[in-house]
Structure 1
Amino acid sequence: MSSDAMWSIGELAEQAGVTVKTVRFYSDRGLLPEAGRSGGGHRRYGPDAIDRLRLIRSLRTLDLPVPEVSRVLDREDALEDVIAGQLRELGSQLTVLRWREAALQLLQDCSPEERADRLRLIGGMTTPPSTAALARFWRRWLPPRLPAQVAAAVVDQAVPQPPDDPTPAQVLAFARLHAFVSRPCRADERSQPEAHRATKGYRPAVLYEGLVEAFALAEVPMRAQRSPHDGEALDCFVAAYARSLGARDTADFRRRLSGLLAADPRIDRYWQLVAELKGPSEPTPGAAHDWLCAALDAQAA
């Protein structure tokens, strides 16, 4: 250290094991304040500069951006928030890399004839994929003027979240799912269930609020691999239709409902792809609907 108890930029760089250029870089950005200047205008640093410089280097070793390093230096309590933010960002980056790896593996493990089609499917979505197209599909498919809270609950239940660490098969399932929902939407009323038609007397808000609950209840016996049967889930399912029509839940109503649901249009391809994405242990709302209809059919018979 020089006789005036101040470090020159060269002395500080030597003691810290960095270059003069590095010290100047941090000084110019306000991370390493100068304690003063020599008579010749050269930078001088106080005794605490070496510890501050070492802290800066440690933070930069973690790839923290300069503004985040500045936050930590200015506020002692900022380090925890900065670390949490960096971990979130790193997690997002790792998810991107895992999706890319699985997509490349998918392309590597197929025949040349399949590769062009799979490449087209993968190219139609972002990496990692967004669920926005799926949510739009459901908001178009649902009856108009459905209360926002009910629509949000249906969409949340129907739209699967992409896994953070997908297999190649899951990448393919999501790519196909994205392509399925991105096709032009048909306006043909016959593609909509009876409950969507204003002339049929349903109250869709009442119906869909009840269906969200019924599907959730059905997941319990489905996970236990129980066959379709009477019980709370089926009662909730039928009650949703009965309330929406202002009808009573009777044996005759259940028989008629069984026939109506059997004639409704279906979007089985969507639920098949969701099942491929989520895996066999996770029931989908589509599978729950089929399970409940099977229970209703058995009872009606």
Structure 2
Amino acid sequence: MQPDGLWSIGELAERAGVTVKTVRFYSDRGLLPEAGRSGGGHRRYGPEALDRIRIIRSLRALDVPVPEVERVMDQGEALEQVLAGRLRDVEGELTALRWREASLRLLAESEAEERVERLLLLGAVALPPGTDAVVRFWRRVLPVRLPGRLVSRVLDAVVPPLPPAPAPEQVLAFARLHAFVRDPRLDRVPALRPGPPLPGQTYRPTVLYEGLEEAYGLAGAEARGGRPPEGGGALDCFVAAYAAALGTRDGAAFRRRLVELLAADDGPVMTRYWKLAAPLLPADEPALGQLHYRLVLALRADSASTP
């Protein structure tokens, strides 16, 4: 320390364990205020500069960008906000690494004749992957005039969550699902976005989807309890949703017509979607596609037993 109690730039660098160039860089950025100047105009720093440079080094070691460091040190931004942002970044980086690891394991464990096809599938998926393509697929499937709040709830139910640490088979399942929903041949499927379920009748899609949401909730409870869909529960709620949306009443004739309608709607596109999505869905929770199929089967059985 100099007689005036201050350090030269070299002394500060030595005490902090950094280079003079580093001290000068942070000083030029305003992160290390000078305590004074020598008679020759050289920078002088007080002991508080050592504490500041140690804090800066800690933040930089955590890969906090210099502009973020500046906001913490000089603009009073809460350190918690900066650290929370960096944690989100690191979590994303770790997820990308885990997906990359699972992709490598998938390829390493594949037969030689499978690898080219799987490389092509994986090459179309970003790391970490996102579900934007799946969301776009469902927005094409859903009726145009559904309220945004209802669309959000439907998307939460039908878009599979991506595991942060996937198994190799989940990587392959998502790559296949991603390729499927982006397949341009879907543009040529005329029934992909459904119109009125029964031509010539009033159709209120919001009423239908709100009713189906309740029916699927009841069906999920029945499935978890090991009970089949029966009258008075999910099945009646399921039929009532269609009847209310079409402005008619439930009855034996309507149920027979509804069986025909649902047989036409349950085409290969949706069947393929739910098959591909299955490995990504929680194993202990029935998927919406499974619940729908259970209710359709129950409706067929009910209609067949009713004169």
> Same fold by TM-score, threshold 0.5 exceeded?
yes
- In the alignment, structure 1 residue 213 sits paired with structure 2 residue 214: yes
**How far does residue 190 in structure 1 lie from its aligned partner after superposition?**
5.2
1:13-162 correspondence to structure 2 within 5 Å: 13-74=13-74, 78-162=78-162
Match of 1:264 in 2: 265
Match of 1:285 in 2: 288
Residues 207/20 of structure 1: CA separation in 2 closer, same or farther (3 Å cut): same
Residues 61/149 of structure 1: CA separation in 2 closer, same or farther (3 Å cut): closer
* Aligned mates of 2:215, 2:47 — CA distance in 1: 69
Query: Retained in 2: the 8 A contact 1:217–1:232?
Result: yes
Question: What letter is aligned with 1:89?
Answer: D
**How far does residue 38 in structure 1 lie from its aligned partner after superposition?**
1.0
Question: What letter is aligned with 1:141?
Answer: V
* Aligned mates of 2:225, 2:36 — CA distance in 1: 74
TM-score with structure 1 setting the length: 0.91
Residues 188/53 of structure 1: CA separation in 2 closer, same or farther (3 Å cut): closer
Match of 2:236 in 1: 235
Question: What letter is aligned with 1:280?
Answer: A
TM-score with structure 2 setting the length: 0.89
Residues 186/86 of structure 1: CA separation in 2 closer, same or farther (3 Å cut): closer
Q: How many residues align?
A: 301
* Aligned mates of 1:68, 1:133 — CA distance in 2: 33
Q: What secondary structure, in the 3-state scheme, does the structure 1 residue paired with 2:4 have?
A: coil
- In the alignment, structure 1 residue 253 sits paired with structure 2 residue 240: no
Once the two structures are superposed, residues 244-285 of structure 1 have per-residue CA deviations (whole angstroms, 9 ceiling, x without a partner) of 111112344334323432343322110011112114323221
Q: What secondary structure, in the 3-state scheme, does the structure 2 residue paired with 1:44 have?
A: strand
The alignment-based identity, stated in percent, is 59
Once the two structures are superposed, residues 225-250 of structure 1 have per-residue CA deviations (whole angstroms, 9 ceiling, x without a partner) of 43333343222211110101111123
Structural RMSD (CA): 2.2
**How far does residue 7 in structure 1 lie from its aligned partner after superposition?**
1.2
**How far does residue 140 in structure 1 lie from its aligned partner after superposition?**
1.7
* Aligned mates of 1:190, 1:264 — CA distance in 2: 8
Question: What letter is aligned with 2:233?
Answer: E
Query: Retained in 2: the 8 A contact 1:72–1:79?
Result: yes
* Aligned mates of 1:92, 1:246 — CA distance in 2: 48
* Aligned mates of 2:266, 2:139 — CA distance in 1: 17
Q: Of 293, 297, 301, which residue of structure 1 is paired with 2:300?
A: 297
**How far does residue 147 in structure 1 lie from its aligned partner after superposition?**
3.7
Query: Retained in 2: the 8 A contact 1:6–1:46?
Result: yes
Question: What letter is aligned with 1:261?
Answer: L
**How far does residue 133 in structure 1 lie from its aligned partner after superposition?**
1.3
Structure 1: runs of 5+ lacking an equivalent: none
* Aligned mates of 2:148, 2:17 — CA distance in 1: 60
Residues 231/274 of structure 1: CA separation in 2 closer, same or farther (3 Å cut): farther
Q: What secondary structure, in the 3-state scheme, does the structure 1 residue paired with 2:3 have?
A: coil
Once the two structures are superposed, residues 54-83 of structure 1 have per-residue CA deviations (whole angstroms, 9 ceiling, x without a partner) of 222222222222122222222566111111
Query: Retained in 2: the 8 A contact 1:271–1:286?
Result: yes
**How far does residue 196 in structure 1 lie from its aligned partner after superposition?**
5.0
* Aligned mates of 1:163, 1:208 — CA distance in 2: 28
* Aligned mates of 1:6, 1:44 — CA distance in 2: 6
Once the two structures are superposed, residues 5-62 of structure 1 have per-residue CA deviations (whole angstroms, 9 ceiling, x without a partner) of 2111122122223222221121122111111211111110123212222222222222
* Aligned mates of 1:55, 1:228 — CA distance in 2: 62
**How far does residue 294 in structure 1 lie from its aligned partner after superposition?**
2.1
Residues 288/53 of structure 1: CA separation in 2 closer, same or farther (3 Å cut): same
* Aligned mates of 1:93, 1:274 — CA distance in 2: 24
* Aligned mates of 2:274, 2:247 — CA distance in 1: 30
